[in-house]
Structure 1
Amino acid sequence: MASDAPHANEPSVPETENLLELNDIEAGYGRAALVLRGLTVKVPPASVVCLVGPNGAGKSTVLKVASGMLTPRSGTIRVAGQDATRKGPQAMLESGLSHVLQGHSVFREMTVEENVRLGAYTVRDKAHIADRIDFVKTLFPVVGDRWDALAGALSGGQQKQVEFARSLMVNPRVVLLDEPSMGLDPKATSTVFEQVVRMRDAGLAVLMVEQNARRALETADLGCVLDLGRVHISGPAADLLADPQLAELYLGGRPRPSSGDDAPTTSEEHTHA
């Protein structure tokens, strides 16, 4: 399923070019020590890239830098090949990035429709809004089924799908997801990860931070293990899952038997200090 309308400011992007690139990023808060120390992450089109790692590794900070909420001290950000290093949140949204924050952010006393329409508050083209509504209703059936219901009456997993739908109303290229399974029971968690795959299959790129590392990597195409503000290991998610050392250190135990693929290697650029 492909999006029915191109992004308003969308330049042509070569099929092989990354939609989002964070290159050699150093970032921190105020005068405190750096949180990100030379981090590089790249997100190809129509892919799910997952950032995993221990608490304090800098995962959520990566998303804040990518969305313009935090300006990096050094390094570059590129969106669809265009420099976006010092753009703020509104400009990054207009460039094609949408950020779904950690935790629940629906307005409980508003209907599902009202919550979803808030995602298009900067859009003036009524026909475009109608097209996007049709798109998100198709992508997330529960949104259409509960269109007139109060958002507060939905389960946690259903509310998260409303948040996803709202984030897609501006027709982003890349969706940034911060801990989408936080606070959800196992069944709702499975549903949410299924919806992440649906977004990827609809042609979106997803950069996701997730504490449930094993489940996230089972969903992702590519994985990046962060530690001390750097990418320690990156590669195909299936390879990361099959790496015994990685499983012991970051995934809570040994992996399931692999198909014999080589385990990912740590590049010289990303070697853990």
Structure 2
Amino acid sequence: MESELESELAPQATAGQAAEPGPAAEPLLRLTDVQAGYGRAALVLRGLSVTVAPGSVVCLVGPNGAGKSTVLKVASGLLKPRAGQVVVDGVDVTGRSPQQLLAAGLSHVPQGHSVFPEMTVAENVLLGAYTVRDRSEVEARTDFVTELFPLVGERWSALAGALSGGQQKQVEFARSLMVRPKVVLLDEPSMGLDPKATAVVFEQVRRMRDAGTAVLLVEQNARRALESADVGCVLDLGRVHITGPAPDLLADPRLAQLYLGGRPKEVS
């Protein structure tokens, strides 16, 4: 049966889709016609296609059960697709292991808090470079992340467990960048955070993008995430039903009514 979201938004999907990137903006990450599920259960992703261009934040939003987190698990190698293709910077990496996907340039920050609370901020961050043997390279990466996230440098010797939830998320972001990824995959980064911490987290997402790292973001706080993204994708029933510039999705009254919880903000 066709979902409410599909029936309301599908007629606009083609017209509203973002243009395919040209030769100068070849996607860093492309998932094409991906089908995936867990065990013998029915498919969660049913022919999903998503692209992430250099220098962009792409946000996946949709109702619970739409398959948002499953997209990130497929992209990071935690879940092998049953069909379809995953391409990173022009290289087909479909079905490869998480370690191989990390080496290919994908860094995954999972849902919830993943810091080790009894280790220092420094120890948590440097875990992200455990495969890097060149000490000077590790030092260069450390300088980069502490400049990008000043709080990480300020609390370098503190126990990670003593930090607030929002501060711990910055430590996770810093750790993910220690491998110099092409794309960072963020799963619900604002989960459990208060509005002030959430605002800081999305500011850090933009800083990562501005520093040269593309981001594929899954977020339940759809309106806040779309305000920080360049491209938005609305998922339902395991497919992308509409995609386009994030500001356009925020201004779409049908999307606001069906999913964002009210009327769109008026543009002054």
**Structure 1 residues 1-273: aligned runs within 5 Å:** 15-258=24-267
The equivalent of 2:15 in structure 1 is none
Report % sequence identity.
Answer: 76
The CA deviation at 1:15 is 3.7
CA distance in 2, matches of 1:125, 1:21: 31
Paired letter, 1:248: Q
Where does structure 1 lack aligned partners over 5 or more consecutive residues?
1-13, 260-273
Runs of 4+ residues over 2 Å off in structure 1:
none
Deviation readout 1:83-113 (Å, 9 max, x if unpaired): 1111110000000000000000111111000
- Aligned alpha-carbon RMSD (Å): 0.8
Cα deviation, residue 125, structure 1: 1.0
Q: Deviations over 1:110-129 (max 9, x none)?
A: 10000001111111111110
**Residue in 2 that maps onto 1:262:** none
Q: Give the conservation status (yes or no) of the 8 Å contact 1:15–1:45.
A: no
Shift of 1:23: 0.2
Encode CA deviations 1:154-211: one digit per residue, 9 max, x unaligned.
Answer: 1110000000000111110000000000000000000000000000000110000000
* TM-score, normalised with respect to structure 1: 0.89
Structure in which a larger fraction of residues adopt helix: 2
Aligned residue in 1 for 2:4 = none
- Which SS does the other structure have where 1:119 is aligned? helix
Q: How many residues align?
A: 246
Letter in 2 for 1:196: V
Q: Secondary structure at the match of 1:35?
A: strand
Secondary structure of 2:51's partner?
Answer: strand
1:183 counterpart SS class = coil
Q: Find the aligned partners of 1:54 and 1:209 in 2 and give their Cα distance.
A: 11
Contact 1:241 1:247 in 2 (8 A): yes
Distance 2:135 2:95 in 1: 31
1-structure distance, mates of 2:175, 2:110: 12
List alignment gaps of at least 5 residues for structure 2.
Answer: 1-22
